[in-house]
Amino acid sequence: MASGLTVWGLDVGKCALKALKLRAGAEGKLELLAMDFIEHEQILSQPDADSEALIATALETFLSRNDITDTPVVVGVPGQHTLARFSKLPPVETKKIAEIVRYEAEQQIPFDMDEVIWDYQTFQEEDTPDIEVGIFAMKRDLIRDYLLYYEHAGIEPAAVQSAPLALYNCIHFDGLLSGKTTVLLDIGAENTDLVIASPYGLWTRTIPLGGNSFTDTLVKSFKLSFGKAEALKRTAATSKYARQIFQTMRPVFADLVQELQRSIGFYTSTHRDAELDKVTGLGNAFKLPGLQKYLQQNLGMNVERPERFDKLVPAEGADLSALEDNVLSFGVAYGLGLQGLKLSTISTNLLPPEIARAVVWRKKRPFFGAAAACLLLTAGVIWARQFIDTAELNRNEGAPGMVASLEDANRIIEQGVSGTPGDQARKILAASKKLKNEYHEVAGQGKDELEKIDEILELRDNKKIWFDILKVVHEALPKPHEELAQAIGPEAYRTAAEQVARDQRTRIYLERFRARFYVNLDDEQVTGKFEDLSGETDLKEIEADEDEERYGFLIQLKCRTPHKDRVAFVTREFTEKLRTQGRVPDQGFYINRIWLTKGKPLGATASGPGQSKAPKRQPRRGSRRGGRTGQPPPGKPQDQQAVEDIIDPVTEEVMNEDYEFDMVFDVVLADLPESALEKETTEGEEGDETGG
């Protein structure tokens, strides 16, 4: 076997501590140097269990049996404590992926970014341009609490990985993935980690069902203590009551299958080309009698349970008995070891940066004493050599082209030198080269830092742009009739509404606002899917300069208006104003194209009798529901009319004829080009002359 870096993969679960010491071997395999399996005296999730003491005891036992000195340790964190989000990236240059992912993370993670530790991984199939990104995060306080166990034990992790991702690394490396898509189940004590894995990526979810769910069922059915029920569950395969035990646990099997079917259904709806062909089960709870067969029958897929890891080869003298008995529990530890050896497919790391820096600092401290002694010795040598070096420099002052230091170069330029004209020219030329080199060296220092500072300052300055964009949208909305604008409160508004017919009201209501950032707004895949309903063919687009990539936001508004002119009203009173308000010079952005899409009467979205989308209320006296008398139109029963109509919750009027539409526009993050400003000014003047 090949020798080299060794690493410990350490997985502390609810039932036991699992650890593998690995080293890269020959022919793409791993050499297993040592392993440990330390079962807790109680399952950590038992009501009377002291989880902190049990974990501390397990770690203490592990350290007493194994020497981890100078061996990196990679630890796992439970899947239920980590957040996983997946999304496809727009076509973008590789160097801009990090910037796009940062924006995606801010949108996808439902916490303040300062409260979480996060990392990401990109996935891409061969021969396809599509890139999918997985964003993985964990709350900072949760991970600090979890790492506190290791800190108290004196273990300094080199990396922290989420258990489902470590499991994916394990089965990917060991060849347990098929050529299609594999469903991985790791059934733990409290939760089941579901990983839908392909050779090019994964999707993961944590299901809140595990081994304890089966134990709790036995507790309730057989009136046993938790400990006795757990023992009964573990020996169920050889028990003479195996059939009764299986029948008791059958409802939990059904709940697990239901959750799996829901998750698989969601995955296949978003990955329509995926072909799921098998289920691979891990976790000791997978040994439950009847579970494998039950899953196979209800999921309609072959369900496998690995008996060994093919690419894990024992070192000479290594005891594999514990691994052979509990192979289903070591998948996560295996994957953690792979990450420490830099052989993993997914290499995200949730170790807080401040802890990583502290670990590096402590590891360097032993060298400081020796370094200090070397510095003292070097200082003495330098002092002793000072007089010799000075004399040597004085002797070489007359040598052509010789400039020993920056001070010499400055002195030559300022005071001049003696010697023949040729020697003087060579010395001055050498001095100028010395100063030029020094200038370039200083100018290059901190360049990256300055660029990063500029980016941060730009982000800070651009935060207010959203207020300006929202202001533009607000000011572009048509002004309501004076009676409605002055009404304060529901009652006053209902009274004012009696004075203006609903289909004459110059109102547009914003019901939803969505924005998404794109690196290239001119990409056909970004904007080519929208068709405009207003009849405009060119959308009055501002042409981009050649080879210019315009970046910014694509904004989608869901709107509604009661005005009878519908598209004409929206185009005249909103679209044109939005374009005018959004094309102002020196505001840091401009609105380019505007689409009016997906327009239809609101009544067309009603689901029919008994399934109306809005709550129904009895008509008020004098309301516009069915006329001012509150009666339904002729020929339609009153009870059917009450069910089908969509009612305005404020005025209690029928809203069926309100026009519902989407407004989509792109906001380019750049100042309005001068050419566009000149063009709009010219068009405006021509319009005035024509009108005159």
- The pLDDT tens digits of the residues spanning 230-244 come to 888 888 878 887 888
Q: Can you give the residue ranges of every domain in the chain? A: 177-305, 368-444, 468-691
- Range 368-382 average pLDDT: 56
In whole angstroms, give the CA distance from residue 436 to residue 276.
Answer: 65
**Per-residue H/E/C for 421-460:** HHHHHHHHHHHHHHHHHHHHHHHHCCHHHHHHHHHHHHHH
Q: Is 314 a residue whose pLDDT tops 80?
A: yes
Helices and strands (DSSP H and E) totals, the chain = 22, 18
Better-scored residue on pLDDT, 463 or 663:
663
Lowest-confidence pick of 216-225, 493-502, 630-639, 641-650: 630-639
- Range 195-202 average pLDDT: 90
In this prediction, residue 638 carries a pLDDT of 47
In this prediction, residue 529 carries a pLDDT of 73
In whole angstroms, give the CA distance from residue 197 to residue 201.
Answer: 6
CATH for 177-305 (3.10.129.10, 3.20.20.80, 3.10.150.10, 3.30.420.40): 3.30.420.40
What is the pLDDT confidence band of residue 635, given thresholds at 50, 70 and 90? very low
Q: Rounded mean pLDDT of the chain? A: 81
- Range 103-113 average pLDDT: 89
Its sign, for the CA torsion 67, 70, 71, 77, is: positive
pLDDT digit string, tens, across residues 423-432 = 777 778 788 8
What is the pLDDT confidence band of residue 641, given thresholds at 50, 70 and 90? very low
What is the pLDDT confidence band of residue 171, given thresholds at 50, 70 and 90? very high
Q: Is 373 a residue whose pLDDT tops 60?
A: no
**CA-closest candidate to residue 624, choices 645, 644, 603:** 645
Structure tokens at 228: 């006795």
pLDDT digit string, tens, across residues 664-681 = 999 999 888 877 665 555
pLDDT digit string, tens, across residues 63-99 = 999 999 889 999 999 998 999 998 888 877 888 888 8
- Strand, coil or helix: what is 255? helix
- Range 212-219 average pLDDT: 90
- Strand, coil or helix: what is 195? strand
In this prediction, residue 416 carries a pLDDT of 76
Which helix (H) or strand (E) is 678 found in, with range? helix 674-691
**Cβ atoms of residues 289 and 242 within 8 Å:** yes
**Cβ atoms of residues 396 and 404 within 8 Å:** yes
Alpha helices in 77-130 (DSSP H): 97-108
In whole angstroms, give the CA distance from residue 80 to residue 214.
Answer: 19
pTM of the model: 0.55
In this prediction, residue 402 carries a pLDDT of 53
